[in-house]
Structure 1
Amino acid sequence: MKGGAKKTVVAKIKLQIPAGKANPSPPVGPALGQRGLNIMEFCKQFNDRTKDMEVGMPIPVVIEAYADKTFTFITKTPPTSYLVKKKAGVASGSKTPGREFAGKITMPQIEEIAKMKMADMGVDSLEAAISQVIGTAASAGIKVEA
């Protein structure tokens, strides 16, 4: 934004893309293509920004498309449910949460996830973030151990 001129945002596009694996196929291509954005440039920038993350980890991204066909984007932390299942060592949650457990997770692991997710959660205390992570674990059928 040279000279203090403000660009006009014409769209906010929210996607979830595996780290290091952005490519022109759906969902990226169609979402950016319909706005006339440079798909390959986005893929290159996204893959470069996520190159130090675990390949394939789902990364939420918010892309702001401008009237001049340029864009900016921010990456967020992986979804809480993904992190909880990863720490619990399970591929998917329980089919009947509350009655059957798919795995277990410890409080220190919950706290670690909460600290990582706090910025994206919109909470102002670690306790509130921990509470949200515990709720996510419970709804996935992951038992929380003290």
Structure 2
Amino acid sequence: MAFCKDFNARMQKYKPDTPMSVTIPAFKDNTFEFTVKSSSVSWYLKKAAGVESGSSRTGHVTASKVMLTHIYEIALVKQLDPYCQYKSLASICKSIMGTANTMGIQVVKDLD
């Protein structure tokens, strides 16, 4: 019962239909902890680009475009993850831009 209350309290701030990664280690003394991570970068990029999937021919066909502001907003969300909280925002942005590149999503300054 305590787990359900804690879990529901933490999930209040997230939007419905957003995939989340949750790690729950349980201990012998019936205690537990859980870590909630935000969705994957690829999910955020597909949502920002408005596409179902990335390019089937990366480097040859562009699936869509996203603006630098989208990259920055995704980086702000990912910075709250336990494993990214000590990384600089610039390095998180570079990582997201690399993921966008491998998905065939072009990062532009302004959408035309």
Matched pairs, number: 107
Determine the structure 1 residue equivalent to 2:72: 111
Question: One-letter code of the match for 1:76?
Answer: K
Q: CA deviation at 1:46?
A: 3.1
In 2 relative to 1, CA 93–64 (structure 1 residues): closer, same or farther, beyond 3 Å?
same
Q: Using the alignment, how far apart are the partners of 2:62 and 2:33 within structure 1?
A: 41
Question: One-letter code of the match for 2:70?
Answer: Q
Which one of 125, 128, 136 corresponds to residue 91 of structure 2? 128
Q: CA deviation at 1:119?
A: 3.5
Q: Using the alignment, how far apart are the partners of 2:66 and 2:31 within structure 1?
A: 43
Match of 2:24, SS state, is strand
Aligned residues with identical type, % of pairs: 39
Alpha-carbon contact 1:64-1:71 (below 8 Å) kept: yes
Which one of 72, 85, 98 corresponds to residue 33 of structure 2? 72
**Residues 34-92 of structure 1: CA deviation (Å, up to 9, x unaligned):** xxxxxx86566434432442212111112121112332212111111111111111121
Q: CA deviation at 1:108?
A: 0.8
Which runs of 5 or more residues in structure 1 are unaligned?
Answer: 1-39
Which one of 4, 7, 22 corresponds to residue 61 of structure 1? 22
Which runs of 5 or more residues in structure 2 are unaligned?
Answer: none
TM-score computed with the length of structure 2 as normaliser: 0.81
Residue 141 of structure 1 pairs with residue 104 of structure 2: yes
Match of 2:52, SS state, is coil
Alpha-carbon contact 1:90-1:102 (below 8 Å) kept: yes
Q: Using the alignment, how far apart are the partners of 2:23 and 2:49 within structure 1?
A: 28
Superposition RMSD in Å: 2.0
When you count strand as a share of all residues, which structure comes out higher?
A: 1
In 2 relative to 1, CA 130–47 (structure 1 residues): closer, same or farther, beyond 3 Å?
same
Q: CA deviation at 1:144?
A: 0.5
Largest Rg, 1 or 2: 1
Which one of 30, 42, 45 corresponds to residue 84 of structure 1? 45
